[in-house]
Amino acid sequence: MTLRCLFVDFNSYFASVEQYDDPTLLSRAVAVVPVMSATTCCIAASYEAKAFGVKTGAPVWEALELCPDLVLREARPARYVDMHHRLMAAIEDCIPHGKAESIDEVPCWLIGRERQRDNAEAIAHSIKRKLAAEGFSPAIRCSIGIAPNRFLAKTASDMHKPDGLTVIEQHDLPHKLHGLELRDFCGIGPAVEERLRLAGIHTAEQLCAASRQRLRTAWGSIEGERYWLQLQGHELPGRVERRSSLGHSHVLGPELRSFEGARAVLFKLLAKAAMRLRRERFLAGGLSLRIRFVGLERRFERDIAFAPLDDTPALLNLLGEQLSPLEAAGRKGRWRAHRNPPLSVAVTLVNLEPAGSITHELLASRGRAKAVSAALDSINQRYGNNTLYFGAMQEALAQDAAPMRIPFSTIPQTETEEDVGTRRQPVDHGEELWLQRERQFKVMAELAHRKAQGRGERRPTRTPQTFGAGGWTRGAAAEDSQDGTDAPPSLF
């Protein structure tokens, strides 16, 4: 069996881009954070920061204790997407690549003589030289794995970081994998690791020695058999995964913690989801709405089904109808917004169907709504997202709420997902301190709410201690799912 895949993984990607854009950060410990607050988490850390024990997901206050000289940079999703495309173009000059796995990794398929080890290694070295020649390195470096299949190549790319090159040939299996931990393998997270341990598999050597049937039993599905085949070096055809839902969520800033603010953000999120729906050529047959509140364990929930559609006006009208009970609860005093303001909102389009599989509506009013949506898409695609928008979104846009985010498994399109004019102009130091403090309050409230949920209390029992400059506060929160199925039913 020959080498089939060369897998490129860019190291500490977000932090590396920050070092590339600011050469003074080279060789310094850098962490990228979603907001400038000590109570949020590091979403990326440079290798200099990792040397101090700073890991992805570490609370900022903890990272600053481990590395007092840590430099914090606020995340810039649009910049990371732009650099992703430039790096993919550099790789393309050396070898055609497949679809990017995420924003910082991509498989490249070897054909013909490229599958010989010497030739495959030469391609890997040419990629590294290309990055250096175009000025990306030394700030942006990549680790490369070469193996008989994509699974093993991805695993190999993680074995020697940063800037490593690891080759796993068929005769290297399985002994070359024995030094890994279970969590070092692709696809093994906390839940799968626990299943394997319950099945008596505690080491990589035991995993590689397990039979096909044993892994199927451990996984509880045919995925265990697929995993066994990949460990043996077989390249399996990709699974056809049908998208069933599409949505967005957002934690509200203090200035938007009112019914009107939450409504404006929800309208913006739904308009964005509807735009993506049309771009990916789907129709939605249902809508799911979730709102969490400060100091309340229960949340506002609505789930509705309707005839498949994709036009923004109809979807916004349905959303407005589902929000009316919450507005009525506020008017009648059943919900006191000043005491339990909305904290986070989420809207999801469900029951997706391919656009071509549904017959078109005959009603003239529906045709007009679809024409409005098409006009919105055309204008916003040409001049920037939300150049033209519905008035109900005004407050969310004015507060720069719900900006573009980078998911793990997809690369967002900045021309259609980043709002036009969302970047603030430079402000004086006093205003910037106030904006930072607003962001701190937003994260603190979310952490306090999550802590209360984790303890089954209505509010945290311990007052956070002050820490660091600018009155940053120190805290931690139990992880919980945005759309956890075990949440209590809605109050409204």
- The per-residue pLDDT for range 391-408, each reduced to its tens digit, is 565 555 555 555 545 444
Q: Which of 17-31, 215-229, 241-255, 307-321 is least confident?
A: 241-255
**What average pLDDT score do residues 173-189 get?**
93
Confidence of residue 4 (pLDDT cuts 50, 70, 90): very high
Confidence of residue 443 (pLDDT cuts 50, 70, 90): low
Q: Quick check: 492 pLDDT over 70?
A: no
**What average pLDDT score do residues 321-342 get?**
91
pLDDT at 355: 83
Mean pLDDT of the residues in the chain: 80
Q: Which is higher by pLDDT, 91 or 395? A: 91
For 468, the token pair is: 């660091």
Confidence of residue 253 (pLDDT cuts 50, 70, 90): confident
Q: How are the residues of the chain apportioned to helix, strand and coil, as percentages rounded to the nearest 5? A: 45, 15, 40
pLDDT at 461: 36
Confidence of residue 388 (pLDDT cuts 50, 70, 90): low
Measured between alpha carbons, how far is 235 from 228 in angstroms, rounded to an integer? 11
pLDDT at 408: 46
Q: Which of 97-101, 173-177, 275-279, 344-348 is least confident?
A: 97-101
- The per-residue pLDDT for range 354-377, each reduced to its tens digit, is 887 665 555 555 566 666 666 666
User: Between helices 150-157 and 223-231, what is the axis angle to 10°?
Assistant: 70
Ramachandran assignment for 455, one of left (phi > 0), alpha (psi -120 to 50 degrees), beta (any other): alpha
Q: Quick check: 438 pLDDT over 60?
A: no
pLDDT at 448: 45
Q: Pairing state of beta strands 353-354 and 282-293?
A: antiparallel
For 4, the token pair is: 């089939």
- The per-residue pLDDT for range 262-318, each reduced to its tens digit, is 999 998 899 888 888 888 889 999 999 999 998 888 899 999 999 898 888 889 889
Q: Tell me the residue ranges of DSSP E strands in 193-331.
A: 245-251, 282-293, 300-309
Q: Which is higher by pLDDT, 251 or 414? A: 251
Q: Quick check: 95 pLDDT over 80?
A: yes
Confidence of residue 436 (pLDDT cuts 50, 70, 90): very low
Q: Quick check: 424 pLDDT over 50?
A: no
- Quote the percentage of the chain above a pLDDT of 90: 50
Indicate the pTM of the whole model. 0.64
Measured between alpha carbons, how far is 35 from 168 in angstroms, rounded to an integer? 40
Does a cis peptide bond (omega within 30 degrees of 0) precede residue 138? yes
Q: Quick check: 441 pLDDT over 50?
A: no
Q: Do residues 418 and 385 touch, judged by C-beta distance below 8 A?
A: yes
CA angle 260, 266, 270 (to 5 degrees): 145
CA–CA distances in Å: residue 32 to residues 86, 249, 402, 405, 407 = 21, 21, 19, 14, 15
**What average pLDDT score do residues 428-446 get?**
43
